[in-house]
Structure 1
Amino acid sequence: MHSTLLTLPLLLASSLVSAHGGVIGYTIGGKRYTTGHVGSGNDRLKFSPANSLQRAWTGLGPVRSSSSPNIACNTPGTPAHTTIEAAAGAPLTAHWNPWPHDGGPLSVWMVECPGDCATFTSPHTASWFKIHDDGLAGTQKLIKAANSLTVTIPASLKSGNYLIRHEVINLARPPAEFYPECAQIKVTGSGTKSPGPESRSTFANAYKMNLPQFTGSYNDWRAKGGYKLPGPAPWKG
């Protein structure tokens, strides 16, 4: 990510404790796409809508309920202006604003758009599949990697239009706080596979708010071990 973001003072990070945790850019096919910016005060994190592949988010708070329509792509999660091609089998990197919490899981999900992603308005009722899961130490890895995460789009995935959803779950102050972000991509390549029902779930079904993975704190889970993010296992193709 840009060096100016990497050198932001620790004071800014501490001011983001109650702030939106946003993906502010993606690197796809070696090209960087900016979707947000970091500033100060009330502008300490802002969505950049112009020609963005990321679905819009507003405000500075997390999603707090798995049954909310915003659990899929944040608030308001309206369709983006752009869809970017991403080759199956190739890396895709998401870049976050400086993340202030070191306790919680990090995951990446995908779902097919029924046609053009710009007309896909109900992703919260769709059956998503997971391609990456970092478990309890996810945000620690994120911070150590300069607030970025690189995943590989499964090489055998069928070409077409998809939403790719990056999610950080904050367990520093339970119950869980969800920070999801969705981007619109067009997967290219010769893949022919799609995940089966055993690899899919809606978020309302996978993320029951009374599960101990969401009611327990990061410190409690770190002490006892065995944390597993609810939902299907990552699909590798």
Structure 2
Amino acid sequence: MASSTFLPSIILPILLSAVSVQAHGIASALVVDSTFYDGYNPSYQWKSPPPTVVGWSVPDDLQNTFISPDKFNTPDMVCHLGAKPAGAAAPVKGGDVIEVQWTPWPASHKGPVLDYLANCNGPCETADKTKLKFFKIGESGWVDKASDLWAANVLMNNNNSWLVRIPEDIAPGNYVLRHEIISLHAAANPNGAQSYPFCYNLAVDSAGTASPAGVAATELYKAADPGIKFDLFSHPTAYVIPGPALYSGALPVSQSKPAAITATATGVYAYTVAARARAAGAITAAAAAAPTTLVSAPKAASPILPRATPAL
């Protein structure tokens, strides 16, 4: 009888093939300042030890599925099915533009693209996802009505990539980036909209001080919202992007084909505040001015993955 250790080598290609035939993409990686940071891939479940990456794991999504409106009030809505915190974070600065890379996205799955941040108020690697409060930093919906061009189509046309800019005014710290496509191709039907949220850990270095209020991901949308229950094929004249209002400090970014990757991630990052001396229970002025730093610990470098070629 074959050893059980041989089984993953047999079933893994089958499972990954099953994932690929589903027409839905996954947000698979980040690029920050031309540096590639590996996200989560379902195949990592069969690697021992699994790689340490900046993307939250989604071990329950072997069929590359979505969150339907009847599950919008469940923890799966935070960062996808059974999502667990990433073990690393990508270092970014306030004002930086982040590129989110997707596997190929189908042209038929039209809909908005939305981005949120939540301050972990501590290490995101151990964050309780049900307690994260998200504020919206980016949104795009129906881009061009004449050509029926939606944000998801723009993402697909730009090598399956999306750009999001980190607000300059937020306080430094550890944040979760929640990046999402909502597909509307079946949204005319009850429970027909399809949410595809994916999360990444970010270590944000910033001179800002803002702490925007947010809401739990389970409270972002309702099944009856006009941007969720929407008939894509009824000749609509307008579309209301769902979710809370855009954060006042959000920074616009022009979507374009991304630049070349020049490096891969070589460290595991976390935001730390320098130790501050205390005297008689008060922080001294000198200590209050202590610098903040991003620290790293070595890990295996992530491979550069080829960019997906958009469908013609």
TM-score, normalisation: structure 2: 0.63
Contact 1:23–1:94 (8 Å) recurs in 2? yes
Secondary structure of 1:213's partner? coil
Tell me the alpha carbon deviations over residues 79-138 of structure 1, each in whole angstroms, 9 at most, x when there is no partner: 1111221111111110001001341111010000031101112x2443210111011321
| Counterparts of 1:35 and 1:167, CA distance in 2 | 15
| Counterparts of 1:141 and 1:46, CA distance in 2 | 28
Contact 2:67–2:195 (8 Å) recurs in 1? yes
**Could you say if the C-alpha distance between residues 98 and 194 of structure 1 is closer, same or farther in structure 2, counting changes exceeding 3 Å?**
same
Q: Which amino acid aligns with 1:105?
A: P
Contact 1:70–1:77 (8 Å) recurs in 2? yes
| Percent of residue pairs bearing the same amino acid type | 26
| Residue in structure 1 matching 2:201, options 178, 184, 193 | 184
TM-score, normalisation: structure 1: 0.81
| 1:61 and 2:68 matched | no
Matching residue of 1:225: 237
Question: How far apart are 1:225 and its partner, in Å?
Answer: 2.4
Matching residue of 2:167: 154
Secondary structure of 2:228's partner? helix
Aligned length: 211
Q: Which has more helix, going by share of residues?
A: 1
Question: How far apart are 1:13 and its partner, in Å?
Answer: 11
| Counterparts of 1:50 and 1:186, CA distance in 2 | 19
Question: How far apart are 1:145 and its partner, in Å?
Answer: 1.0
| Counterparts of 1:165 and 1:212, CA distance in 2 | 22
Q: Which amino acid aligns with 2:183?
A: N
Contact 1:154–1:236 (8 Å) recurs in 2? no
Structure 2 unmatched ranges of 5 or more: 1-17, 143-149, 250-312
Question: How far apart are 1:47 and its partner, in Å?
Answer: 5.5
| Residue in structure 2 matching 1:235, options 239, 247, 250 | 247
| Counterparts of 1:138 and 1:228, CA distance in 2 | 13
Matching residue of 1:113: 120
| Counterparts of 2:29 and 2:184, CA distance in 1 | 24
Larger Rg: 2
Secondary structure of 2:227's partner? helix
**Could you say if the C-alpha distance between residues 169 and 233 of structure 1 is closer, same or farther in structure 2, counting changes exceeding 3 Å?**
same
